Amino acid sequence: MTAAWFVVARLARDRSALIGLVLIALLVLAALLAPLLSTHPDDVFELHPSERLRAPSGTHWLGTDRMGADVYSRLLFGARITILIGLIAVGASLAIGVPIGLVAGYHHGWASDLLMRVSDIFLAVPQVVLAIAIAQTLGPSLPNVILALSVTYWPWFARVVYAETRALQKEAFVESTAALGASPWRLTVLHVLPNIASPIIVRASIGMGFTILTAAALGFLGLGPPPPTPEWGRTIAESREFLPDAWWYAAAPGLAIFLTVMGFNLLGDGLRDVLDPRLRRSPSRDG
């Protein structure tokens, strides 16, 4: 636990990383406490056509949408969707990509070449395009969005893990633990994996941002969860015909997406700086 605290303390020194951390914290808070923080929690489902497209005011902090629902409240509940999509998609990519990367990295031969070529093929296609193709084929729904994103993002993890595993194989401690008689399983899971945790964490953070952006794109194109789900991308799509008059209708979810993605990217960058070089330093060696 102290290691985690150490990381946070170090992160705090980096201003942009701190901003990232704050933004993510806000997102998480919004998602967790949506029922408490929202002013009109029922607006996720209820319609008030008489109040449609009202500008931001005292009762509706970010105005209302075309159904008269409170934009602010829907935004908060939308945060839940956003986080859910991000976490599950990135989690699934991790679960697929990391083992593939480990196996490909550990072995030398046609099997590992094959695995990496497959992941290269996935990487060659832009993620958005591939996700659109999959979501389109399977139909618009939340699970399908998550599936599409997982299937397109895992190669990033595989590649990072593969490169790091290969690099680590040359390290003396890996070679010597192998010489001690450690099995490949023990080596990869107990020794290699903890040592490459940092790049994986960094990639996961950046992946969250990337995935959320792609999810919003899918939602915008109508391939995401259907209405009345307050998904941010779909909200922007809905707002299009009312622009530029009902500017708040697009600005709110747009800004939310922007800040979320930026937050994850800043956090990821900050983590990258903090995690690796610092932890390898040995404070007790004499300078």
- Of the candidates 116, 275, 286, 86, which has an alpha carbon nearest to the alpha carbon of residue 198? 275
> Does residue 285 touch another protein according to CB under 8 A?
yes
Q: How far is the CB of 273 from another protein (least distance, A)?
A: 18
Q: How many residues bind another protein (CB under 8 A)?
A: 25
Q: How far is the CB of 108 from another protein (least distance, A)?
A: 13
Q: How far is the CB of 176 from another protein (least distance, A)?
A: 4
Lookup result for tokens 């409240």: 73
Of 110-118, 136-144, 154-162, 277-285, the window that binds another protein (rule: CB under 8 A) is 277-285
> Does residue 6 touch another protein according to CB under 8 A?
no
> Does residue 280 touch another protein according to CB under 8 A?
yes
| 3-state per-residue secondary structure call for 226-282 | CCCCCCHHHHHHHHHHHCCCCHHHHHHHHHHHHHHHHHHHHHHHHHHHHHHHHHHCC
Closer CB to another protein, 138 or 178, in the complex: 178
- Does residue 272 contact residue 259 with C-beta atoms inside 8 Å? no
Buried b (16+ CB within 10 A) or exposed e, 266-279: bbbbbbbbbbeeee
Q: How far is the CB of 87 from another protein (least distance, A)?
A: 26
Angstrom distances, CA of residue 263 to CA of 7, 19, 21, 158, 210: 17, 7, 7, 24, 11
Closer CB to another protein, 47 or 182, in the complex: 182
- Binder to another protein among 15, 42, 59, 173 (CB under 8 A)? 173
Near another protein in 175-204, by CB under 8 A: 175-183, 186, 191, 194-195
Which two three-digit tokens encode residue 177?
């633990």
Lookup result for tokens 């899971």: 189
Q: How far is the CB of 268 from another protein (least distance, A)?
A: 21
> Does residue 49 touch another protein according to CB under 8 A?
no
> Does residue 167 touch another protein according to CB under 8 A?
no
Q: Residue 166 burial by CB count (10 A; 0-12/13-18/19+): exposed, middle or buried?
A: middle
Q: How far is the CB of 175 from another protein (least distance, A)?
A: 7
Residue ranges in contact with another protein by CB under 8 A: 171-173, 175-183, 186, 191, 194-195, 279-287
